[in-house]
């Protein structure tokens, strides 16, 4: 990703005026990355109405000088609290906005800086909702890396192979494709384990006729992808599992078809949820339909019956309906969609056919 993020800094400076604060302290490293381009693990941004300062320590001096061009880079030499106090004084910051994600210990330190503290909730996260072309390209690369990794290990989803072995091979394949790490702890759940939406891979061996739910994601330039597929392993003719698979796939398809700019995300959720409910499985679909994807695996917008956010061009989010039946198993099919130029594109390309077990 390019290091120049001046337009994003200016968006925050505009927000300062609406919030009635003189400066804003950004401590979330994901938000620091978004605003400055710095992808190290330590540092913060102080944004005033006319300036921006990025502060880090000696370990990241060279990296910061290469990556950060939209803020003045300062290398701290002593106590961070003293430096913050000095910056506030020099820049006339009497009212300081801060992210509500800070810990209690961090807040207690900020109290000692002398400025009036004003909590500002999720303002940067709201800016991140709309992705620019560079961000979309990074997410698309993360999708491709994840799909190529899955194709490399799909043949291992077969009877006799342990869930943990499939997960281990998939994580290694993600790295082989260029991911620095998996987007999150990979889910591989077979048989009755698949009724738990976020089951952890176990020593259980995949058996003939199992539903095998796989949920994983890739990474590219710090941006993530997130997808799920469910394999119906051959070996037992089970009309019930095929039935719930078909229902979930229909719910996914119709929800994506329904997406329009300006509609509320809860309306998209309702499309899928009503299909599953009308089929008699409403009580077996308890999570939201989807979520935004970007620098975080889960971010705005949230596609949920509890949310009323409007769909906008530039949004990237998941659509992931599921049915989970304790003692039997579960099915989830998850795609990543992009809304751009008032049209909807599906970024994921993997097959959604039910019978894939052991395929190459």
pLDDT in tens, 306-324: 998 999 999 999 999 999 9
Predicted pLDDT of residue 1: 42
What residues contact 216, with CB distance under 8 A and at least 6 apart?
146, 149, 150, 170, 174, 182, 183, 184, 186, 187, 226, 227, 228
Percent of the chain having pLDDT more than 70? 97
pLDDT category at 355 given cuts 50, 70, 90 is: low
Q: Are 272 and 310 in contact (CB under 8 A)?
A: no
Across the range 121-131, mean pLDDT stands at: 95
Model confidence at 4: pLDDT above 70: no
pLDDT category at 187 given cuts 50, 70, 90 is: very high
Predicted pLDDT of residue 356: 56
pLDDT in tens, 256-292: 999 999 999 999 999 999 999 999 999 999 999 999 9
Model confidence at 339: pLDDT above 70: yes
The answer to whether domain 133-346 has CATH 3.90.230.10 is yes
CA distance 313 to 336: 15
Predicted pLDDT of residue 235: 83
Average pLDDT value over all residues in the chain: 95
CATH hierarchy code of domain 6-127: 3.40.350.10
pLDDT in tens, 198-237: 999 999 999 999 999 999 999 999 999 999 999 999 987 7
E strand or H helix that includes residue 269 = helix 265-278
pLDDT category at 124 given cuts 50, 70, 90 is: very high
pLDDT category at 354 given cuts 50, 70, 90 is: confident
Domain ranges of the chain: 6-127, 133-346
Predicted pLDDT of residue 357: 55
Model confidence at 3: pLDDT above 70: no
For the entire predicted model, the pTM comes to 0.94
Phi, psi of 56 (to 5 degrees): -145, -175
């Amino acid at each position: 990703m390019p290091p120049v993020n001046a337009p994003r800094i200016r968006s925050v400076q505009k927000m300062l005026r609406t919030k009635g604060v003189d400066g804003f302290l950004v401590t979330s490293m994901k938000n620091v990355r978004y605003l400055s381009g710095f992808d190290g693990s330590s540092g913060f941004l102080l944004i005033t109405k006319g300036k921006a300062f990025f502060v880090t320590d000696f370990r990241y001096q060279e990296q910061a000088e290469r990556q950060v061009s939209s803020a003045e880079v300062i290398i701290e030499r002593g106590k961070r609290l003293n430096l913050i106090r000095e910056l506030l004084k020099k820049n006339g910051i009497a009212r300081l906005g801060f992210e509500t994600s800070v810990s209690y210990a961090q807040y207690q330190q900020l109290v000692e800086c002398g400025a009036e503290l004003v909590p500002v909730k999720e303002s940067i996260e709201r800016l991140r909702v709309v992705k620019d072309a560079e961000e979309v390209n990074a997410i698309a690369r993360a999708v491709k890396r994840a799909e190529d990794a899955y194709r490399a290990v799909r043949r291992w989803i077969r009877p006799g192979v342990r869930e943990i072995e499939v997960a281990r091979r998939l994580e290694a394949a993600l790295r082989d494709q260029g991911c620095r790490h998996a987007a999150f702890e990979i889910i591989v759940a077979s048989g009755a384990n698949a009724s738990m939406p976020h089951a952890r891979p176990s020593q259980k061996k995949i058996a003939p006729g199992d539903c095998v739910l796989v949920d994983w994601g890739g990474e590219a330039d710090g941006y993530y992808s997130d997808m799920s597929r469910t394999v119906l392993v051959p070996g037992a003719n089970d009309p019930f599992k095929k039935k719930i698979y078909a229902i979930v796939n229909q719910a996914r398809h119709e929800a994506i078809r329904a997406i329009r700019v300006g509609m509320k995300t809860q309306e998209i959720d309702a499309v899928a949820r009503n299909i599953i409910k009308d089929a008699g499985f409403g009580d077996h679909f308890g999570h939201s339909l989807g979520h935004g994807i970007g620098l975080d695996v889960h971010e705005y917008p949230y596609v949920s019956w509890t949310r009323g956010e409007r769909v906008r061009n530039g949004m990237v989010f998941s659509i992931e309906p599921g049915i989970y039946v304790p003692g039997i198993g579960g099915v989830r099919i998850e795609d990543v969609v992009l809304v751009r130029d008032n049209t909807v594109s599906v970024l994921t390309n993997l097959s959604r056919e039910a019978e894939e077990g052991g395929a190459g």
